[in-house]
Chain A
Amino acid sequence: MEQKGTKTRPRKLYEVPNMDVTPKNKGSFLRPLKALSFLFREPVTLPMEPRPAAENYRGFHVNDWEKCIGCGTCAEICDNEAISMVHIPDLPEDHKNGIKPRRPAIDYGRCCWCALCVDICPTGSIALSREYIHISREMNTFFILPDEKGMHGLGYPIGWGKNEDSDLLDLKRQPMGEVEPEARSDNFDEIVDGFDAHTALIEASRCIQCGMCHEACPTNMHAPQYIRAIWEGNVEKAVEEIYRTNPFPQVCGRVCTHRCETACSIGRRGEPVAIRWLKRYAIDAVSPAKVKKIALADKAKKKSGKKVAIVGSGPAGLTTAFDLAKLGHAVTVYESKEKPGGMMRYGIPEYRLPYDKLDADIAVIEAAGVAIECGKAIGRDIGFDALRSDNDAVVVATGLGQGRSTRIPGSDQPGVFSAVDLLARVTAGESFDLKESAAVIGGGNVAFDIARSLARLQKKTFGKVDVTLVALEARDRMLADEEEVIEGGEEGVKVFTGRGPKQIVVENGAIKGLETVLCLSIFDEEGRFHPKYDEADVILHPAAMVVEAIGQATDVSYLGKDVTEALEWERGRIKIGRDGSTAVPWLFAAGDMVEGPDVIHAVAAGHRTASAIDTFLGGGSSKLEAAE
């Protein structure tokens, strides 16, 4: 210990600066008495009641229950786990649009009023009010379920609310490169470039893991998990999470109707996370061999000895086949066309879904042990009863292969095609009588697919585009996706909305054009689809060929008389139970032919049907995640 009390002179280490603050004069002993002057000054008196808090004040929580969607992100970000979500049964619940019947409750024994919950709230419903007084001996009053009136219902103004600077969410979607209209006008190369690794990482980082997409997806994909895996840079784990519910990542990554993005809570105030394109990024980033290994990891080792035949190799048929094969059943898929894929191949143009990507998905399914026999039409090459006899169960999933015709006068001319047939011919590369000007009837995605395909073929053969599309619906209620309408317009497709087909004008054997009438309204009072025409307003759209894309029907003639009689029917379609079962115990049905409308619903139906068959075949509880 140093010696005590001696004053050692500091060794001259550094020069002492000029700023010397030793007190100048010690001042007299009585100096402090000057403070007495305060006695004669006006005392500062403050009011007793609580002072109003500052405008930015972070007081007790308020939550606007109209805006709140119960996503739980506030509970997720809370660093003291002060917020827990409370399930309230009688609140609105709508999984399709990402609304959950729960609201945040706050434990003021833990909360530190940091307002991170306010800054991250996707809808901006939660805020901190300017109320700060709460005195109670009753512990329970410190656990509150705030509404917009606040803790004591006094409706204090908002202090710390949602604000531009402090918003923690990334509301802008990462830009996605696309081929310019000019460059894509005469070829079928894929339009959407797809994310590169860096952009995918940033896009994936936008996800706040609220899980709304999981519940909105028809087959309940584990989107939060695979997005988080992409963000962690582990694309293989992402593929693993995807294959838990969807054997068609390449397809769904490109053409899915992305119900998840409709429900995404970021979409409330900004652009939803690009969940579909992230799925595509993950599957593109993993080698096909690795994908097979991941997808077949849970394949049953032993064979069940049961045989299942599946008619139709669309998404429903192949998903059912994939699940059953992984459960150890022997599965054979019969496809009437030359190549498998159904509508995915013959209904979707290649600029949307390249065929090699579809083949990649199908290759994985075949690797699971599914035998696909193409060019085999049931009812023509193989009898349905023959199919029945050497299989324990049969699944029909032949989709809606037949294009409906409007059957308006002139619609039976040779120059009038159905969109579905024409698209199939384009895919198969078969030639057909392409004219310099064409008219398409219909306003859905199929109509735009054929219109834009014709535009490309016209540009390639005639060097110019002349395609007119006539849709019943008004511009703001088109059935087709918005980007289809926009991109179609960019590629030269002239779109007429609110027009109903009247007749196809034919003069000496050649089609002159399509006459349409104004469609005043589409839905009647009860909201049912019942268009009302104004026959005075007629337009003639000049065209040398007409394509009808107004609807599709199923062809079930291959079932044969007695099976058709044994089945139950509803409006021309087989009546099925939730799990795809029909009135005939060994026969199941799935996909567009029983209930549409798109690939992802077909995949979901495929899972349900597969687990039903597995139970029917005595497989007991299937390991598969049955999509409820």
Chain B
Amino acid sequence: MTDTEKTEGHSGAHAALASAKTLEEVLNTAIGFEDTARTFYAALAPKVSKPMRALVEELAEEEQRHYDLFTGVRDHPDTVAHLKDLIATPPEDHKFADFVQMPKLDDNPDDQAILQYAMGREDAAYKQYSALAETTPDGPLRDLFRFLADEELRHKGELEKTYYEIIHSGGV
């Protein structure tokens, strides 16, 4: 399962991001990704069965918050300084998602499939941004990629917790 398959949501994303120069452009692309994810989940919600709907709506809201966060950073008066303190406490990578298979989402997925799909997306995004952070020289652009990577990782951590609490429940 190569990386590209994992990120078919971000079509040709890698090339676009690599070529972008200014903070402005990078943030706009990232916001674009969040927007596609949000609309994807929003569209999925009505289709799934009601027990699962709340979960998908939750994911949509989560993406919405990301969207607002990134736009907030973009419109921030002094983006560079703001980025510095945002990177201060990077979350940990629990690596759990590395071992979760990325399912195809049909029209009637169960909660486990939905969560696995979401974690797969976050994991892919995180890997992508951190890879870019590595390859960009020091400076605001590198901080931005670092920030985006942290955000995706934090989101993934949340999803892993939810995954565990739902799947590993029941029985004594």
Interface residues of A (CB under 8 A from B): 257, 347, 400, 404, 407-409, 420, 444-446, 479, 500-503, 517, 524, 528-535, 549-554, 556, 564-565, 567, 569-573, 592, 596-598
Q: Is the CB of B168 within 8 A of A550?
A: yes
Known contacts: A404-B112, A567-B50, A573-B51. The answer to whether A409 contacts B101 by CB under 8 A is yes
Roughly how many angstroms separate A530 CA and B154 CA in the complex, as a whole number? Answer: 13
Closest 10 CB pairs of A and B: A552-B170, A400-B170, A551-B168, A569-B51, A530-B161, A598-B172, A552-B171, A532-B94, A597-B172, A446-B171
Taking A420-B171, A571-B166, A592-B171 as known contacts, 11 extra A-B pairs with beta carbons closer than 8 A to each other, sorted by chain A number, are A404-B112, A407-B103, A408-B100, A444-B171, A446-B171, A517-B99, A532-B95, A550-B167, A569-B54, A572-B51, A596-B169
User: Contacting B99 at CB < 8 Å: which of A528, A529, A533, A571?
Assistant: A533
- Write out the residue numbers on chain A whose beta carbons fall within 8 Å of the beta carbon of B171: 347, 400, 420, 444-446, 549, 551-552, 592, 596-597
Known contacts: A446-B171, A551-B171, A564-B50. The answer to whether A535 contacts B55 by CB under 8 A is no
Known contacts: A407-B116, A444-B171, A445-B172. The answer to whether A531 contacts B96 by CB under 8 A is yes
Roughly how many angstroms separate A528 CA and B54 CA in the complex, as a whole number? Answer: 21
Roughly how many angstroms separate A446 CA and B170 CA in the complex, as a whole number? Answer: 10
Q: Shortest Cβ distance from A429 into chain B, in angstroms?
A: 23
Q: Is the CB of B161 within 8 A of A404?
A: no
Q: Shortest Cβ distance from B142 into chain A, in angstroms?
A: 26
Task: Let me know if B110 is at the binding interface, CB within 8 A.
Answer: yes
Q: Is the CB of B49 within 8 A of A530?
A: no
Known contacts: A528-B165, A535-B98. The answer to whether A592 contacts B54 by CB under 8 A is no
Q: Is the CB of A565 within 8 A of B50?
A: yes
Task: Let me know if B160 is at the binding interface, CB within 8 A.
Answer: yes
- Write out the residue numbers on chain B whose beta carbons fall within 8 Å of the beta carbon of A565: 50
- Write out the residue numbers on chain B whose beta carbons fall within 8 Å of the beta carbon of A517: 99
Show 14 residue pairs from A and B whose CB-CB distance is below 8 angstroms, ordered by the A residue: A400-B171, A404-B168, A407-B103, A407-B116, A408-B100, A530-B94, A530-B160, A533-B94, A551-B167, A552-B171, A553-B170, A571-B55, A572-B166, A597-B172
Roughly how many angstroms separate A592 CA and B171 CA in the complex, as a whole number? Answer: 8
Interface residues of B (CB under 8 A from A): 49-55, 92, 94-96, 98-101, 103, 110-112, 116, 157, 160-161, 164-172
- Write out the residue numbers on chain A whose beta carbons fall within 8 Å of the beta carbon of B103: 407
Most buried by A among B51, B165, B166, B167: B51
Find the B residue at minimum CB distance from A445.
B172
Q: Is the CB of A408 within 8 A of B161?
A: no
- Write out the residue numbers on chain A whose beta carbons fall within 8 Å of the beta carbon of B110: 553
Most buried by A among B50, B53, B92, B112: B50
Q: Shortest Cβ distance from B165 into chain A, in angstroms?
A: 6
Q: Shortest Cβ distance from A576 into chain B, in angstroms?
A: 14
Find the B residue at minimum CB distance from A567.
B50
- Write out the residue numbers on chain A whose beta carbons fall within 8 Å of the beta carbon of B169: 551-552, 596
Roughly how many angstroms separate A420 CA and B52 CA in the complex, as a whole number? Answer: 23
* Interface class of chain B by DSSP: helix
Q: Is the CB of B99 within 8 A of A531?
A: no
- Write out the residue numbers on chain A whose beta carbons fall within 8 Å of the beta carbon of B166: 571-572
Q: Shortest Cβ distance from B130 into chain A, in angstroms?
A: 16
- Write out the residue numbers on chain A whose beta carbons fall within 8 Å of the beta carbon of B160: 530
User: Contacting A556 at CB < 8 Å: which of B51, B54, B170, B172?
Assistant: B51
Known contacts: A524-B161, A564-B50. The answer to whether A404 contacts B95 by CB under 8 A is no
Q: Is the CB of B51 within 8 A of A529?
A: no
Q: Is the CB of B50 within 8 A of A569?
A: yes
Find the B residue at minimum CB distance from A530.
B161
Q: Shortest Cβ distance from A450 into chain B, in angstroms?
A: 11
Find the B residue at minimum CB distance from A480.
B172
Q: Is the CB of B111 within 8 A of A531?
A: no
Roughly how many angstroms separate A524 CA and B158 CA in the complex, as a whole number? Answer: 11
Find the B residue at minimum CB distance from A257.
B172
Q: Is the CB of B95 within 8 A of A533?
A: yes
- Write out the residue numbers on chain A whose beta carbons fall within 8 Å of the beta carbon of B100: 407-408
Roughly how many angstroms separate A571 CA and B165 CA in the complex, as a whole number? Answer: 10
- Write out the residue numbers on chain A whose beta carbons fall within 8 Å of the beta carbon of B165: 528-529, 571
- Write out the residue numbers on chain B whose beta carbons fall within 8 Å of the beta carbon of A534: 95
- Write out the residue numbers on chain B whose beta carbons fall within 8 Å of the beta carbon of A553: 110, 170
Roughly how many angstroms separate A445 CA and B170 CA in the complex, as a whole number? Answer: 11
- Write out the residue numbers on chain B whose beta carbons fall within 8 Å of the beta carbon of A347: 171
User: Contacting B170 at CB < 8 Å: which of A257, A501, A502, A592?
Assistant: A592
- Write out the residue numbers on chain A whose beta carbons fall within 8 Å of the beta carbon of B55: 571-572
Q: Shortest Cβ distance from A469 into chain B, in angstroms?
A: 15
Q: Shortest Cβ distance from A92 into chain B, in angstroms?
A: 27
Q: Is the CB of A503 within 8 A of B99?
A: yes
Find the B residue at minimum CB distance from A403.
B171
- Write out the residue numbers on chain B whose beta carbons fall within 8 Å of the beta carbon of A528: 161, 165
Q: Shortest Cβ distance from B6 into chain A, in angstroms?
A: 15
Q: Shortest Cβ distance from A625 into chain B, in angstroms?
A: 25
Known contacts: A572-B55, A597-B172. The answer to whether A408 contacts B167 by CB under 8 A is no
Find the A residue at minimum CB distance from B168.
A551
- Write out the residue numbers on chain A whose beta carbons fall within 8 Å of the beta carbon of B164: 529-531
Q: Shortest Cβ distance from B95 into chain A, in angstroms?
A: 5
- Write out the residue numbers on chain B whose beta carbons fall within 8 Å of the beta carbon of A596: 169-172
Roughly how many angstroms separate A269 CA and B152 CA in the complex, as a whole number? Answer: 51
Find the A residue at minimum CB distance from B95.
A533
Find the B residue at minimum CB distance from A564.
B50
Roughly how many angstroms separate A479 CA and B169 CA in the complex, as a whole number? Answer: 12
Known contacts: A407-B100, A564-B51. The answer to whether A532 contacts B92 by CB under 8 A is yes
- Write out the residue numbers on chain B whose beta carbons fall within 8 Å of the beta carbon of A529: 161, 164-165, 168
Find the B residue at minimum CB distance from A531.
B96
